[in-house]
A and B are shown apart, each in its own frame.
Chain A
Amino acid sequence: MAASKVKQDMPPPGGYGPVDYKRNLPKRGLSGYSMLAIGVGVMCFGYWRLFKWNRERRRLQIEELEARIALLPLLQAEQDRRQLRMLRENLEEEAVVMKDVPGWKVGENVFHTDRWVAPLTEELFNLRPREELPHKRFGFLWYV
């Protein structure tokens, strides 16, 4: 055991400072009630915004529907004329085709009534090329 001055790793003079070993669990943050209140408040704000936007969407939808309402007479008139034109063409074709058939009345009403019966799509497109009928029947169909 030499009392030599060997450099060793010793504690600092005066010892170490105090070490806090006690539990440190500070009470911090919001209370439960206030967190609940904030959550409910955020939800209510969200609902309010949603209802406002829904009302705005309803107004926009009404505007689009009114555009359709305004255009309906024009579209209906054009549709009527188109149907009547097709019926006329069919009638003239029928007169040509059934010329020699005995006892055939051209343009005979198939019903016993006088009222206007809306013509079927098949009836209107009977004498046209085959490809036109699916266009008419399914042209506006979005689903499959």
Chain B
Amino acid sequence: MPGSVEVPTFNDLNVEEISVSSAVLKGAAHHYGSQCDKANKEFMLCRWEEKDPRKCLNEGKKVNECALNFFRQIKGSCAESFTEYWTCLDYSNLAELRQCRQQQQAFDSCVQDKLGWERPNLGELSKVTKVDTSRPLPENAYHSRPRPEPNPVIEGQLQPAKHGSRLFFWSW
């Protein structure tokens, strides 16, 4: 008999969200990827292993906290250069990063001087990483039923069929 679907309550889902638009996120993306790497990778690992968003709400909360912290730090120290950078990005439809190299340079140097963050080089964010978690690996993440027994071993000598396949008139 099918049970009921457990849906978490509003309390569990109540997390302080980041209310920031797309150009801001894209502008800060590279630094965000290198700073908040741990929380992000843990959340993604949890999500992909458990295949269930309800089990990864805590990791999601940590992702949000890390992101909020990140943006607060930027706001605290490098707000003007960051604002210039993302307004420049916002000017184009696709928020192309190559149109705003000057402002990116200014923002990078500001962040490096004040917070000591380095922008990751090309290709570093797409590297495969190993994540160290204390969460155990779920067994049977797909909740599949127990697999059927394998076929028993065939006893006796196997011979080719007498008179062939016996399909209509074919005798082979």
Q: Which residues of A contact B (CB under 8 A)?
A: 59-60, 62-74, 76-78, 80-81, 83-85, 87-88, 91, 105-116
In the complex where A69-B125, A73-B43, A77-B63 touch, is A108 in contact with B53 (Cβ < 8 A)? no
The answer on a CB contact under 8 Å between B30 and A66 is: yes
Residue of B with least CB distance to A110 = B2
Cross-interface CB contact of B29 among A60, A71, A114, cutoff 8 Å: A71
The answer on a CB contact under 8 Å between A67 and B44 is: no
A83–B63 CA distance with the chains assembled, in angstroms: 17
Residue B149 is within 8 A (CB to CB) of chain A in the complex? no
The answer on a CB contact under 8 Å between A116 and B52 is: yes
Chain A interface, >50% SS class: helix
The answer on a CB contact under 8 Å between A67 and B122 is: no
The answer on a CB contact under 8 Å between A60 and B98 is: yes
Q: Which residues of A contact B2 (CB under 8 A)?
A: 108-112
The answer on a CB contact under 8 Å between B3 and A114 is: yes
A136–B21 CA distance with the chains assembled, in angstroms: 18
Q: Which residues of A contact B47 (CB under 8 A)?
A: 76, 80
Cross-interface CB contact of A80 among B39, B56, B122, B142, cutoff 8 Å: B56
The answer on a CB contact under 8 Å between B33 and A66 is: yes
Residue B10 is within 8 A (CB to CB) of chain A in the complex? yes
The answer on a CB contact under 8 Å between A80 and B53 is: yes
A105–B1 CA distance with the chains assembled, in angstroms: 12
Cross-interface CB contact of A115 among B34, B56, B57, B142, cutoff 8 Å: B142
